[in-house]
């Protein structure tokens, strides 16, 4: 970017404005802000790129030296953002911006975005070190912990296997309880970590770490609870009905009464996923499908081609490679890549639609004319939302039909897929209620009876019974509470965003068509809509502004809930 020319033209502009007489905004301040933004970009962009490439290489190779390079690059970024003098200057700019002194909207927005990035790093380095060390120690304990049962150690996937397949209630109970044992191992240190994180938040002027994290992500606790209360209302009955059906099937499988179902009777340790109780083979249509070609054809057909992304991506299993999937925008200038491990089944069809959904919502379609600082997605929840909006098509018979994927028994696929989709979303939404409310309350008062708080919430929102007389720190067996704090709610809000944008497309592009019939294939108007309404603003809008811009309304659970009606 040509910062010098920008600054020169601004100086001319500033001079002109001075001659024109007094204005509310100060051209000098705007100029100072632009200079700060340009300097930030010059310094941090190469570090971002280095970190992005190191991260990519590390995940492909699995080599320690690549992970080390990533860490070095990340430390340099942190060092740049923790610079005290820079932050002091930025703080002045932010105050000036809040007074209305910066007349250029995008520059003002850049100041807000940068302020939050730097604020996060203005912590006493000794305290930060203590927090990182403690979090690492707890994570380490998670990694080495093995559930012990019958004198044998079990890996995480062995535990899951028992929970998925065993019909012996006693065995299930023992394995479930053993898997929760890690909670007791880490609970003490977790509490210490929570208190240190709260101390860090207080240093920055926030009442606790939860409030700080939300603030850094342009969210606040009261608004969030209101949104989740609305979501609770709209999902409570459909969830109860879906769960009643699941419970009946589970009880039958274990030859017990529904009333005797306990937490260990669900198929994963937290009942965050839908138990496999429906005889549905969603994988069959994909056994012979070319998943990459389907994605290429689909995205090209809606005017969002991804051939360049595919060419740079690493999509199939290899030794040493990360088993997961992700999409990364390396340079915010079009170098966008996907890492995946495709096998021909429904999971990977959905995952590829998801990751490539992230890839179209990137610097591929966010204009280069925007400053680097805001040339990326508005928020984690909006990019997850877009990815989920496309991911859902792997369970749509109409979509598969139109894409030319042959289904032997379309009616059976339709019924099963709709049910699985619906149950997954409902179950996940109730689980997110527990996570959000637990974390918020835990950071507000870490010394309360957390064991009780956890099970009160699980009973209320997931309708899962607390085992009689159980008094154990079961919340502490969820690693996300340690390693990805105050984050889960964004996935849920992403789902709401996905539904709301999809319903808007049905209304505006398809003239009010039934959203469940709208499948996008072959319609370039969809790509146009996504570009104009969702991608092109980048981070010049916050997530609320973008939701309004794209859908005309604030984010709400209305569309998400409507997706469950009549199915
Ligand atoms: Zn994602």
Q: How far is the CA of 327 from the centre of ligand 1 (A)?
A: 8
Question: Rounded mean pLDDT of 392-417?
Answer: 93
Residue 17's pLDDT is 42
Q: How far is the CA of 408 from the centre of ligand 1 (A)?
A: 31
Q: How far is the CA of 8 from the centre of ligand 1 (A)?
A: 41
Q: How far is the CA of 324 from the centre of ligand 1 (A)?
A: 11
Q: In residues, how long is the chain?
A: 567
Q: How far is the CA of 358 from the centre of ligand 1 (A)?
A: 7
Q: How far is the CA of 351 from the centre of ligand 1 (A)?
A: 9
Question: Rounded mean pLDDT of 316-322?
Answer: 88
What is the C-alpha to C-alpha distance for residues 330 and 341, in angstroms, rounded to an integer?
Answer: 20
466, 472 Cβ separation under 8 angstroms: no
Q: How far is the CA of 365 from the centre of ligand 1 (A)?
A: 17
Q: How far is the CA of 290 from the centre of ligand 1 (A)?
A: 22
Q: How far is the CA of 385 from the centre of ligand 1 (A)?
A: 8
Confidence of residue 390 (pLDDT cuts 50, 70, 90): very high
Where is 493: in which H helix or E strand? helix 489-508
Confidence of residue 279 (pLDDT cuts 50, 70, 90): low
Q: How far is the CA of 380 from the centre of ligand 1 (A)?
A: 9
Where is 55: in which H helix or E strand? helix 27-61
Q: How far is the CA of 53 from the centre of ligand 1 (A)?
A: 19
Among the listed residues 343, 296, 294, 289, the one whose alpha carbon sits nearest the alpha carbon of residue 315: 343
Question: Rounded mean pLDDT of 174-203?
Answer: 95
For residue 366, give both structure tokens. Answer: 């966010």
Confidence of residue 26 (pLDDT cuts 50, 70, 90): confident
Q: How far is the CA of 305 from the centre of ligand 1 (A)?
A: 19
Residue 564's pLDDT is 76
Q: How far is the CA of 85 from the centre of ligand 1 (A)?
A: 36
Q: How far is the CA of 104 from the centre of ligand 1 (A)?
A: 33
Among the listed residues 308, 300, 315, the one whose alpha carbon sits nearest the alpha carbon of residue 362: 308
Q: How far is the CA of 470 from the centre of ligand 1 (A)?
A: 36
What is the C-alpha to C-alpha distance for residues 305 and 334, in angstroms, rounded to an integer?
Answer: 13
For residue 219, give both structure tokens. Answer: 């969210």
Residue 398 makes CB contacts below 8 A (sequence gap 6+) with 517, 519
Q: How far is the CA of 502 from the centre of ligand 1 (A)?
A: 17
- Here the contacts of 153-160 (C-beta below 8 Å, separation 24 or greater) are 154/178, 154/179, 159/269, 160/267, 160/268, 160/269
Q: How far is the CA of 391 from the centre of ligand 1 (A)?
A: 10
What is the C-alpha to C-alpha distance for residues 413 and 396, in angstroms, rounded to an integer?
Answer: 9
CB-based burial of residue 57 (10 Å sphere; 0-12 exposed, 13-18 middle, 19+ buried)? middle
Q: How far is the CA of 283 from the centre of ligand 1 (A)?
A: 21
315, 342 Cβ separation under 8 angstroms: yes
Residue 319's pLDDT is 86
Residue 566's pLDDT is 52
Question: Rounded mean pLDDT of 285-313?
Answer: 97
Residue 277's pLDDT is 84
Residue 16's pLDDT is 41
Handedness of CA 206, 211, 216, 220 (dihedral sign): negative
For residue 151, give both structure tokens. Answer: 């004198």
Give the lowest-confidence range in 22-26, 370-374, 471-475. Answer: 22-26
pLDDT above 80: residue 15 = no
Q: What's the chain's average pLDDT?
A: 92
- Torsion angle in degrees (nearest 10) through CA of 206, 211, 215, 220: -130
pLDDT above 50: residue 292 = yes
Q: How far is the CA of 382 from the centre of ligand 1 (A)?
A: 10
Question: Rounded mean pLDDT of 135-143?
Answer: 86
Residue 10's pLDDT is 44
Q: How far is the CA of 174 from the centre of ligand 1 (A)?
A: 34
What is the C-alpha to C-alpha distance for residues 457 and 449, in angstroms, rounded to an integer?
Answer: 13
What is the C-alpha to C-alpha distance for residues 74 and 44, in angstroms, rounded to an integer?
Answer: 10
Q: How far is the CA of 4 from the centre of ligand 1 (A)?
A: 37
Q: Where are the alpha helices (DSSP H) in 99-124?
A: 105-119
Confidence of residue 158 (pLDDT cuts 50, 70, 90): confident
Q: How far is the CA of 73 from the centre of ligand 1 (A)?
A: 23
Is the pTM of the predicted complex or chain greater than 0.85? yes
- pLDDT over 70 for what percent of the chain? 95
Q: How far is the CA of 36 from the centre of ligand 1 (A)?
A: 32
Q: How far is the CA of 387 from the centre of ligand 1 (A)?
A: 6
Helix (H, G, I), strand (E, B) or coil at 149: strand
Q: How far is the CA of 389 from the centre of ligand 1 (A)?
A: 11
pLDDT above 50: residue 384 = yes
Helix (H, G, I), strand (E, B) or coil at 498: helix
Residue 24's pLDDT is 66
Q: How far is the CA of 355 from the centre of ligand 1 (A)?
A: 6
Q: How far is the CA of 361 from the centre of ligand 1 (A)?
A: 11
Q: How far is the CA of 196 from the centre of ligand 1 (A)?
A: 30
Q: How far is the CA of 381 from the centre of ligand 1 (A)?
A: 9
Q: How far is the CA of 515 from the centre of ligand 1 (A)?
A: 22
Higher local confidence (pLDDT), 82 or 22: 82
Where is 337: in which H helix or E strand? strand 336-339
């Amino acid at each position: 970017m040509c910062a010098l020319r920008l600054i020169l033209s601004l100086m001319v502009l500033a001079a002109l404005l001075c001659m024109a007489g007094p204005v509310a905004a100060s051209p000098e301040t705007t100029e100072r802000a632009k200079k700060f933004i340009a300097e930030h970009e010059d310094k941090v962009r190469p570090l971002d790129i280095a970190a992005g490439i190191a991260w990519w290489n590390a995940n492909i190779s699995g080599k320690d030296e690549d992970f080390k390079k990533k860490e070095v690059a990340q430390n340099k970024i942190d060092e740049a953002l923790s610079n005290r003098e820079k932050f002091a200057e930025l703080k002045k700019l932010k105050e000036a911006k809040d007074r209305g002194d910066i007349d250029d909207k995008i520059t003002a927005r850049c100041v807000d975005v940068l302020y939050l990035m730097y604020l996060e790093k203005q912590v006493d380095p000794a305290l930060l070190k203590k927090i990182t060390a403690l979090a690492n120690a707890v994570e380490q304990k998670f990694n080495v912990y093995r559930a012990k049962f019958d004198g044998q150690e079990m890996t995480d996937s062995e535990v899951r296997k028992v929970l998925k397949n065993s019909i012996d209630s006693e065995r299930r109970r023992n394995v479930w309880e053993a898997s929760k044992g890690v909670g007791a191992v880490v609970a003490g240190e977790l509490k210490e970590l929570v208190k240190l994180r709260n101390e860090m938040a207080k240093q920055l002027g926030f009442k606790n770490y939860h409030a700080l994290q939300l603030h850094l992500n342009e969210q606040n606790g009261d608004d969030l609870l209101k949104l989740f209360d609305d979501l609770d209302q709209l999902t409570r009955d459909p969830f109860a009905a879906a769960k009643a059906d699941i419970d009946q099937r589970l009880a039958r499988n274990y030859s017990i009464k529904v009333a005797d179902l306990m937490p260990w009777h669900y198929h994963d340790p937290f009942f965050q996923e839908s138990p496999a109780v429906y005889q549905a083979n969603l994988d069959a249509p994909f056994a012979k499908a070319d998943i990459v070609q389907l994605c290429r054809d689909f995205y090209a057909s809606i005017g969002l081609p991804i051939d360049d992304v595919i060419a740079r991506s690493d999509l199939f299993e290899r030794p040493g490679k990360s088993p997961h999937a992700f999409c990364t925008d390396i340079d915010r200038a079009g170098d966008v890549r996907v890492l995946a491990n495709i096998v021909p089944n429904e999971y990977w069809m959905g995952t590829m639609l998801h990751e490539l959904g992230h890839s179209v919502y990137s610097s591929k379609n966010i204009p280069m004319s925007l400053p680097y600082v805001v040339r990326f997605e508005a928020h984690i929840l909006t990019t997850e939302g877009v990815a989920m909006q496309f991911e859902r098509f792997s369970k749509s018979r109409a979509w598969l039909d139109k894409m030319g994927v042959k289904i032997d028994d379309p009616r059976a696929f339709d019924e099963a897929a709709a049910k699985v989709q619906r149950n997954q979303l409902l179950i996940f939404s109730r689980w997110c209620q527990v996570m959000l409310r637990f974390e918020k309350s835990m950071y507000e008062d870490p010394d309360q009876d957390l064991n009780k708080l956890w099970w009160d919430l699980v009973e209320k929102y997931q309708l899962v019974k607390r085992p009689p007389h159980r008094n154990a720190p079961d919340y502490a067996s969820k690693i996300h509470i340690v390693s990805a704090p105050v984050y889960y709610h964004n996935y849920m809000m992403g789902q709401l965003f996905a539904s709301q944008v999809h319903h808007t497309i049905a209304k505006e592009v398809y003239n009010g068509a039934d959203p469940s019939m709208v499948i996008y294939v072959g319609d370039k108007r969809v790509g146009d809509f996504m570009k104009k309404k969702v991608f092109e603003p980048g981070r010049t809008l916050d997530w609320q502004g973008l939701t309004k811009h794209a859908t005309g309304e604030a984010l709400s659970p209305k569309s998400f809930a409507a997706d469950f009606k009549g199915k």
